[in-house]
Amino acid sequence: MMTPLNLEPTARQTRSPQNDALLARLRVGEDAAFEELVRAYTSRLLAVARRILGSHEEAKDVVQETFLAAFQSLDRFRGEANLGTWLSRIAVNQCLMKLRSRRRKPEQSIEDLLPTFLPDGHQVRESALWEVSLDTQVERNEVLALVRKAIDRLPANYRTVLLLRDIEELSTEEVATMLGVTSNTIKVRLHRARQALRTLLEPHFRPNLS
């Protein structure tokens, strides 16, 4: 089974004095504080939105909508979470609304990426052990690019669950609430998404037997 991926620092961060100080400045309407917030989080929010939506242009729209929504709801933010976590959740919700409003486009079926099994329960083709784990690859930037491209190939429902659980590190219950499905559905989608991702990555990390 694939372990959760860590492509970059997660949005789930602990609160800090700097976070609280910035929040205080935001609450009094300090222009410089808003500019600081935008500079600090635009890059991360853009990366999250692009991976969920698969579109850089739509991701830019989501980031703008996220900051607008954050500014409008700042008085209702109790400050119990880190600002980055709060912004990421707004961005994810904006992405989900865009996904729901899209016309359905043909996607590769995830069934094509899952392992197949014999009647006795064994896999038709055993998964090979990877020569080196992802975390110890020397060319880490190249590895991360491969992983991101593979994630982008997953169907939207599975890609979103994988991103929210393994990268944003939201809980199963949080993701279920966001997507409006049961926790069991999230667990099944996550398991299948990890299996499919392994299938896509395996050719790059299988030992060279030649």
CATH code (residue 83): 1.10.1740.10
CB-CB neighbours of 38 under 10 Å: 15
| 143 touches 174 (CB < 8 A) | no
Where among 42, 73, 101 does a domain terminate? Answer: 101
Task: Classify burial at 130, counting beta carbons within 10 Å of its beta carbon; exposed 0-12, middle 13-18, buried 19 or more.
Answer: middle
Domain-embedded: residue 11: no
pLDDT tens string 193-205: 998 988 888 877 6
Q: What is the pLDDT of residues 7-46, one digit of tens each?
A: 444 444 455 677 888 888 998 888 999 999 999 999 989 9
Q: How many domains does the chain have?
A: 2
Q: Is the pLDDT of residue 6 over 70?
A: no
The Cα–Cα gap between 48 and 85 comes to 12
Residue 12 lies in a domain: no
pLDDT at 105 over 50: yes
Query: Is the model's pLDDT at 137 over the cut of 70?
Result: no
**What average pLDDT does range 120-141 have in this prediction?**
53
**Range of lowest pLDDT (26-30, 114-118, 137-141, 178-182):** 137-141
Q: In the predicted model, what is the mean pLDDT of the chain?
A: 78
Closest CA to 81 of 28, 10, 160, 166: 10
Q: Is the dihedral of CA 55, 61, 67, 73 positive or negative?
A: negative
pLDDT of residue 48: 86
Residue 178 pLDDT grade (very low, low, confident, very high; cuts 50, 70, 90)? confident
Residue 136 in domain:
yes
